[in-house]
């Protein structure tokens, strides 16, 4: 191990970004947050853009701060972020416009228009990706139909981490794990499907060479490194889709396990070696996303804590100091099962007023309108747990043996009440932690590229050595089984009893 045995992880989420230094020593990983910043958006003419220039400037500030603290010779730098969004560069390698955010309305109705050109079956059989209206393929088709001049000027397609990697190094690649989320990458061949995109009028020349996690992208440009006060470190491809990095850091020991990456979105899945492209997988709308070390994340995207985040924005107008811990404590004191919502209802995707939409949902489903921070928060958390259980049953049907444990990672794993609700609803042991799984996976994948660790199993041993985890066991089974039927009814979902 080198003396400068540390790496820098840049972990970008839909609300905030962080610059973290991770150090490997004595088969343990320790991490230190250096800088945190909002991942700002700009709204112009009703279009939602990511302020990528601000985000990049904050990344540089974080690296410079790390250097000032003595971390001026990192072995590597790795970037992860959310999926599907991208930037387009012109022939001068300049951004044509800021990347548009996935919650923008430009993809409204685009799925149906794409399916008029190419069938759902053809797309799924090739890519294995769940159909979500914000997938990159539908974002692209909105350009084809509504803004062809943008595509006419474009020379390069780079997803958010790819774009930031380019800023640092000058090298252009499409990293594999994030590229799989586009619905444009053939799952078996692990290459962009020219057949699919060219049928839709998307120029294949825009796509870059696919690069896989634990590959070196290039050195930080000398002039940038000098300005930051660091060595010209390697920029390393990690699981640039943040969930891919989070799954790397699961401290798994069981043979039959599943995971829930809990945050703004909840991603429920299993780790497999080959994509599952069956009719059943398409019917259940499961997705095959790329993972680190030649793995596939077979999973379901579920609306996560976004609904609670949106509600908090409204509550915070009257109570600026309202944090998630306070909200959860209030929820825990409330009477259970007062009402239910379907977290995946499209009305909750990007409403002007989240609480007003919840009230409309309750009214339309003939439920009593509930008021108060605690009771609304409990409705959200119980409903999310039931929706996880709904898909947990579907996921279990793809397994030869029962799932022994559900590992919850990510920021949402800090919500102990939600973790317990999920254990109750799924009737399975839940193991939570680490909360900083995405950054940990980012750093350990960089270590894999540098041969400081050799295998995914060794990485997970480091994680087990490094972090405390908490076990949750099912409680109040009769009560949860009874109310699951009410949940299904109010959400117009078909399903059997909860797992025994």
Largest CA distance in the chain: 64
Distance of CA 451 to the CA centre of its chain: 27
Distance of CA 277 to the CA centre of its chain: 21
Beta strands in 41-99 (DSSP E): 41-44, 47-50, 76-80, 86-89
Helices (H) and strands (E) in the chain, counts: 19, 21
Catalytic residue among 80, 85, 104, 242: 242
Cis peptide before 434 (omega within 30 of 0): yes
Q: Euclidean distance between the first and final Cα of the chain, in Å?
A: 48
**Cβ atoms within 10 A of the Cβ of 133, count?**
16
**Cβ atoms within 10 A of the Cβ of 339, count?**
21
Token pair 């990690």 is found at 238
Q: Measuring CA to CA, how many Å separate 496 from each of 403, 470, 471?
A: 18, 30, 27
Q: Measuring CA to CA, how many Å separate 253 from each of 28, 406, 448?
A: 17, 12, 20
Which pairs with CB-CB distance under 8 Å and at least 24 residues apart come from 64-67?
64/227, 64/228, 64/229, 65/19, 65/34, 65/35, 66/8, 66/19, 66/21, 66/34, 66/35, 66/230, 67/228, 67/229, 67/230
- Is 293 an annotated catalytic residue? no
**Stretch (H or E) spanning 31:** strand 28-38
Whether 247 contacts 438, CB under 8 Å: no
Count of residues in the chain: 500
Instruction: Look at strands 76-80 and 6-12 and give their pairing.
Output: parallel
* Residues with catalytic roles: 242
């Amino acid at each position: 191990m080198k003396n400068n045995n540390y790496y820098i992880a840049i972990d970008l989420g839909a609300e905030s970004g962080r610059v973290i230094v991770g150090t490997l020593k004595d088969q343990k990983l320790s991490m230190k947050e250096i800088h945190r910043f909002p991942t700002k958006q700009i709204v112009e003419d009703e279009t939602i853009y990511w302020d990528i220039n601000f985000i990049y400037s904050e990344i540089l500030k974080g690296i410079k701060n790390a250097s000032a603290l003595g971390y001026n010779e990192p072995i590597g730098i790795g970037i992860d972020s959310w999926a599907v969004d991208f930037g387009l560069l012109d022939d001068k390698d300049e951004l044509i416009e800021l990347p548009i955010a996935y919650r923008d309305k430009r993809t409204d109705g685009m799925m149906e228009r794409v399916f008029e050109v190419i069938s759902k079956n053809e797309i799924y059989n090739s890519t294995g990706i769940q159909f979500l209206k914000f997938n990159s393929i539908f974002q692209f088709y909105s350009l084809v139909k509504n803004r062809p001049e943008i595509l006419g000027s474009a020379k390069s397609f780079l997803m958010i981490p790819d774009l930031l990697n380019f800023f640092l190094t000058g090298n252009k690649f499409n990293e594999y794990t994030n590229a799989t989320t586009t619905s444009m990458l053939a799952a078996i061949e692990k290459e962009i499907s020219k057949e699919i995109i060219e049928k839709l009028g998307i120029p294949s020349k825009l796509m870059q060479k696919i690069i896989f996690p634990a590959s070196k992208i290039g050195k930080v440009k000398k002039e940038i490194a000098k300005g930051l006060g660091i060595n010209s470190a390697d920029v390393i491809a990690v699981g640039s889709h943040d969930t891919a990095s989070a799954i790397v850091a699961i401290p798994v020991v069981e043979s039959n396990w599943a995971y829930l990456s809990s945050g703004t979105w909840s991603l429920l899945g299993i780790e497999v070696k080959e994509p599952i492209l069956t009719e059943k997988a398409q019917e259940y709308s499961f997705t095959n996303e790329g993972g680190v070390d030649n793995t596939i994340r077979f999973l379901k995207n579920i609306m996560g804590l976004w609904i609670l985040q949106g509600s908090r924005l409204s509550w915070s107008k009257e109570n600026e100091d309202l944090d998630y811990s306070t909200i959860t404590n209030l929820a825990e004191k409330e009477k259970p099962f007062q009402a239910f919502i379907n977290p995946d209802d499209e009305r909750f995707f990007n409403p002007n007023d989240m609480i007003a939409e919840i009230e409309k949902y309750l009214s339309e489903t003939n439920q009593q309108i509930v008021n108060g921070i605690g009771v609304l928060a409990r409705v959200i958390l119980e409903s999310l747990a039931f929706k996880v259980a709904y898909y947990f049953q579907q996921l279990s049907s793809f397994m030869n043996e029962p799932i022994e444990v559900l590992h919850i990672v990510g920021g949402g794993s800090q919500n102990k009440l939600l973790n317990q609700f999920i254990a109750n609803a799924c009737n399975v042991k839940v193991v939570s932690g680490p909360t900083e799984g995405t950054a940990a996976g980012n750093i350990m994948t960089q270590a894999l590229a540098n041969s400081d660790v050799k295998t995914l199993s060794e990485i997970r041993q480091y994680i087990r050595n490094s972090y405390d985890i908490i076990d949750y066991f099912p409680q109040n089974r009769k009560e949860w089984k009874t109310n699951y039927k009410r949940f299904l009814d109010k959400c117009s979902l078909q399903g059997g009893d909860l797992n025994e």
